[in-house]
Amino acid sequence: MQIKIRDEEPQDYKVVEEIAREAFWNLYFPGCHEHYVIHKMREHEDFIKELSFVIEVDGKVVGGIFYTHSKIVSEDNKEYKTISFGPVFISPEYHRQGLGRKVITHSIQVAKDMGYRAIITLGYPYHYEPYGFLGGKKYNISMPDKKFYKGLLVLPLYEGALDNISGYVMFSDVLEVAEDEVNEFDQSFPPKEKKFQESQNEFEKAASMLDE
């Protein structure tokens, strides 16, 4: 199979949203928000277009990764610019073929080349540790509630990038969406059933796990 990673183009927008919806549907809670987050993100000031890629297999888009600006706020209210990825996804029919790894690795390299300080993301540690991410606690970076969670993951992009920096992370507000907006947006897609599945329990446990 022929794999190509490239910048997202306007003609990809709808298909990318459809794939994201398929990939996340009922994964973390009944239904999903990610397709709407992507839709909103493209017009948002925190969106980093140069780091938003799609991955193609044999000329067909099968996944993508999206980045936004984030920051670390220190005790004395100094702000340090960071970046964050998410959503990142691959169409369920193309899972377990190393495509997610390819698109993440590619985007990390481009972010390094662009001179960004660090990537901060939320996710399962086992997904992201292979790329060099470590829990925020290792770098003294917490969530805004000042607690250290196992799911807050940090990757400095150059030697000493986070030396003498500590504080809490602020993600872009574009990631927060209202239920009614999502539901309205969802009307433009084929109907899908919202239901419970076991991965939702796992996610809830993981999301609240403190790094102690």
Query: At 95, which CATH number?
Result: 3.40.630.30
In a domain, 70, yes or no: yes
* 97-111 mean pLDDT: 97
Contact 139, 162 (CB under 8 A): yes
Tell me the pTM: 0.95
The total number of structural domains in the chain stands at 1
Q: Which domain holds residue 146?
A: 3-174+197-207
The pLDDT of residue 25? 94
Alpha-carbon distance 114 to 106, whole Å? 12
- Any domain includes 181: no
Each residue of 45-101: pLDDT tens digit? 999 999 999 999 999 999 999 999 999 999 999 999 999 999 999 999 999 999 999
Tell me how far apart the alpha carbons of residues 23 and 186 are, in angstroms, rounded to a whole number. 15
What pLDDT score does 212 carry? 84
Beta bridge partners of 98: none
pLDDT category at 22 given cuts 50, 70, 90 is very high
What pLDDT, on the 0 to 100 scale, is given for residue 164?
A: 93
Q: Is 159 among the domain residues?
A: yes
Q: Answer whether residue 182 is part of any domain.
A: no
d(CA 179, CA 167): 30
- Residue 180 in domain: no
- The confidence score (pLDDT) of residue 178 equals 95
User: Residue 48 domain-assigned?
Assistant: yes
Q: Is residue 59 part of a domain?
A: yes
- pLDDT at position 207 is 84
Instruction: State the chain's mean pLDDT as an integer.
Output: 96
CA distance to 34, 147, 182, 199, 205, per residue, from 177 (Å): 9, 23, 7, 21, 22
User: Under DSSP, is residue 163 helix (H, G, I), strand (E, B) or coil?
Assistant: coil
* Pairing assessment for the beta strands 53-57 and 60-73 based on DSSP bridges: antiparallel
